[in-house]
Structure 1
Amino acid sequence: MKKIALFIAALLFSTFFYDQSIGLNLFLFSLLTVVILFINNQTHFKNRKTLVYTMAYLLTGLTIFFHSSALSIIANIVAFFTLIGHLSEAKSSIYVTWLNGLYTTIAGFFHRNFASNDKTTTEETVKEKVVIDYLHWAKIILIPTLIVIAFIALYKNGNPVFSEIIETIDFGFINIQWLLVAGLGYYLFNNIYAPIEVKPATELDLKTDNNLLKTEGFSISKLKKENQLGIILIALLNALIVMYLITDIVFLSSEQEIRASLYSAQVHSGINALIASIVIAILILLNVFRGDLNFYEGNKTLKRLAFTWIILNLLLVVSIVYKNSEYIYYFGLTYKRIGVLVYLILASIGLITTLLKISSIKNNWYLFRINTQVAFAILILSSSINWDHQITKFNFNYAQSMDLKYLIDLSNNNTLLLSEHLGDKTLERDEIRLIKSKFDTYSYQLSTNTWQELKYDNFKLKTK
């Protein structure tokens, strides 16, 4: 059953991808992958987390059908590794899951057949090794084939009628490249149908707890000095960031209209300050609360100062969000401005998880584990948004001024929306020409798509 399923999957893989661009085929491949994994790992699919990863993987494949972008393709690949790695060991952290998924995809077949270090083998494995005689199969296939070819050559010279029949046989229908892609598909599915784990990394991850423990060298006098140093340092940094925030509020309240260059400088300098502040904050807090100081009874003042510093950094995030939002309002959305907002979200999450680490007495592994989980979730969610379409829509409807050439230079995900604005009187003749050219080129591309390359825009174009 397994061999038949892998063989069929390999043929479908080549049908989906041979000489085709990305479109509906990647979503169909995602469905096929889930089916192959389900056949051999049915008990794992009763796990709620497995179902979540499966839905995330299928969502990224469907996203590519609606708007094929580099981000959605990257998200699909990451979700693919995540699902496979999770099936190898459901309790491992997500970064180990990625490692297991990548290793399974590349070397699963060789690991199962040639790299097993287990001294004991199951009865089924022993039987399989005894039954499969590769040399015997090679003899059965190669020797009769070579002998038949030799006799065909001899008979062709001895009988002109036979020679004519042989020459009429055309093997041109056999596409070697298609078969090679099918072979690649078979190798891929053969690797992933039974996911494996990188044991050293997985075992270390499972053994590593999130909680901090007292060390044998616990010393009250030493911790008292560390606590004093931490209080002085974090108090000064609190004072510094308060001064920055006050001057920032004064600046924003005193300026009614801010030029684009000044807004840009403010946003970028604010981001630089935020990066430095968060990096320093996290590194200092991780160092201060790295061990026994977490269990020192006199650390309450230090913890309050640390929490205050984190909250002030979050206020700094709010300040930068406001500046960036004003900049977007006046001059429109761009990928860089969206990137600023994404960074601010990640920075805020990093600060909050640091606060949780300190308050719950967790170790650095806790931070790494929870933040990688959050990063994966943000990647999946952000890939589901058609950013080119949303940027174009926002700039036409809300931006006080915009760079239309920037919108035209975006991917084809906004082409149909741009074509809807061809009647705008604000457009210049050259801008209308560029939009029409982009629309005509994209329409031709959609009209030549095979069923494997279909996109949602194919159906939208038909309704126009």
Structure 2
Amino acid sequence: MKKHQIILASSLIFTLLFYNESVGVNLAIFGLFLTCLISYSFQDRSVDRLHLVLVITSVLSCLAFAWYGDAASFFAMAMSILFLQFKTQDSQLKIIQIFPLVFLNAFATLGRVFIFTQWLPERKIHNNFTKKLVAYFIIPTIFLVVFFAAYSFGSTHFSSLLTDYTLDLDIVQVILIGLLGFYISFSFWNYWVPEVCYEKNEMLNNDFTNAAEIKNQQTFSFLDLDFERKSGEITLALLNFMLLVFIVTYNYEQFF
């Protein structure tokens, strides 16, 4: 599926799920729909182990939100799906960059949605396009309207086809939910990554590019590098143990 088709399909599913309905389980269903659509649209990138882990966490977080429905499960579901989408489309970028990008696209979408060349396909209008429009649409529509008006004056039963029923549909609610779904879908599938994110991406690597130029130096003149390294490892292990003890005692005091 093309990008604009995915955006429109997601908007339609969002509208159908949330019209006259509460958030609850429907949001979890929408999250599962996005997860499946990501996996289907990017099948060639689903062989990475990290991608499979993100898919599993997204599905589990959606099920958790459907069961609990609290804020913690909601943020877990949102972050899992966003991480999956970001890591699938821009695998070269560090996943931590998603936090500023979510905030940035929340405002950028309001303007980018009107730049139709970025997300709508370009179509060339051929010479026979006008002929097809007139022959296949305009002329049949005119005849249908004329004959329907004529038949309506002659038969009350025929005119009642469009007058004797009411449409139980809140148009305002449908429009608002549709616009919200389109906003979320557009921001999710067509998010914007500034060039500065690609330029600064190397700064977030696990290894420094000039690691060969870095030389370890002694902090204390009376200790060798091996002793300093071992001292740091022992200190870090003790601090982590102390932190673990603090977490256990703090939770005991809070809940027991």
Q: What is the TM-score normalised by the length of structure 1? A: 0.40
Matched, 1:198 2:194: yes
Compared CA separation, residues 320 and 15, structure 1 to 2 (3 A):
same
* 1-structure distance, mates of 2:80, 2:25: 17
* 1-structure distance, mates of 2:193, 2:215: 41
Higher relative contact order structure (alpha carbons within 8 Å, sequence separation ≥ 6): 2
* 2-structure distance, mates of 1:178, 1:184: 10
Q: Are 1:14 and 1:182, in contact at CA under 8 Å, matched by a contact in 2? A: yes
Higher helix proportion (structure 1 or 2): 1
Instruction: State the Cα distance separating 1:208 from its structure 2 match.
Output: 4.8
* 2-structure distance, mates of 1:318, 1:39: 42
* 2-structure distance, mates of 1:207, 1:17: 42
Compared CA separation, residues 79 and 209, structure 1 to 2 (3 A):
closer
Counterpart of 1:306 (choices 217, 224, 232) is: 232
* 2-structure distance, mates of 1:101, 1:88: 15
Amino acid at match of 2:78: I
Instruction: State the Cα distance separating 1:38 from its structure 2 match.
Output: 3.3
Counterpart of 2:207 (choices 189, 207, 211) is: 211
Compared CA separation, residues 318 and 8, structure 1 to 2 (3 A):
closer
Q: Are 2:7 and 2:185, in contact at CA under 8 Å, matched by a contact in 1? A: yes
Matched, 1:83 2:75: no
Question: What are the Cα deviations for residues 243-264 of structure 1, in whole angstroms up to 9, with x where unaligned?
Answer: xxxxxxxxxxxxxxxxxxxxxx
Q: Are 2:94 and 2:204, in contact at CA under 8 Å, matched by a contact in 1? A: no
* 2-structure distance, mates of 1:181, 1:81: 21
Instruction: State the Cα distance separating 1:50 from its structure 2 match.
Output: 1.6
Number of the residue aligned with 1:280: none
Instruction: State the Cα distance separating 1:102 from its structure 2 match.
Output: 6.0
Amino acid at match of 2:235: W
Counting only pairs closer than 5 Å after superposition, residues 243-392 of structure 1 correspond to structure 2 as 298-321=224-247, 323-324=249-250, 327=253, 333=255
* 1-structure distance, mates of 2:26, 2:71: 16
Which of 1 and 2 has greater Rg? 1
* 2-structure distance, mates of 1:9, 1:209: 34
Secondary structure in structure 2 of the residue aligned to 1:168: coil
Instruction: List gaps (5 residues or longer) in structure 2.
Output: none
Larger mean CA deviation between 24-33 and 2-11 belongs to 2-11
Compared CA separation, residues 19 and 312, structure 1 to 2 (3 A):
same
Question: What are the Cα deviations for residues 74-100 of structure 1, in whole angstroms up to 9, with x where unaligned?
Answer: 111222221221122113222124445
Q: What is the TM-score normalised by the length of structure 2? A: 0.66
* 1-structure distance, mates of 2:80, 2:205: 25
Q: Are 1:78 and 1:98, in contact at CA under 8 Å, matched by a contact in 2? A: no
Question: What are the Cα deviations for residues 286-322 of structure 1, in whole angstroms up to 9, with x where unaligned?
Answer: xxxxxxxxxxx94344334333332332342254356
Instruction: State the Cα distance separating 1:194 from its structure 2 match.
Output: 5.6
Number of the residue aligned with 1:130: 124
Amino acid at match of 1:130: K
Amino acid at match of 2:86: G
CA RMSD of aligned residues (A): 4.6
Question: What are the Cα deviations for residues 139-178 of structure 1, in whole angstroms up to 9, with x where unaligned?
Answer: x9xxx8xxx9xx99xx8xxx7988x948936564343112
* 2-structure distance, mates of 1:195, 1:89: 11
Number of the residue aligned with 1:184: 180
Compared CA separation, residues 115 and 10, structure 1 to 2 (3 A):
closer
Matched, 1:168 2:163: yes
Instruction: List gaps (5 residues or longer) in structure 1.
Output: 117-123, 233-296, 334-398, 400-464
Question: What are the Cα deviations for residues 82-136 of structure 1, in whole angstroms up to 9, with x where unaligned?
Answer: 12211221132221244456666763964974569xxxxxxx96xx25349xxx9
Question: What are the Cα deviations for residues 413-450 of structure 1, in whole angstroms up to 9, with x where unaligned?
Answer: xxxxxxxxxxxxxxxxxxxxxxxxxxxxxxxxxxxxxx
Compared CA separation, residues 131 and 71, structure 1 to 2 (3 A):
farther
* 2-structure distance, mates of 1:219, 1:64: 49
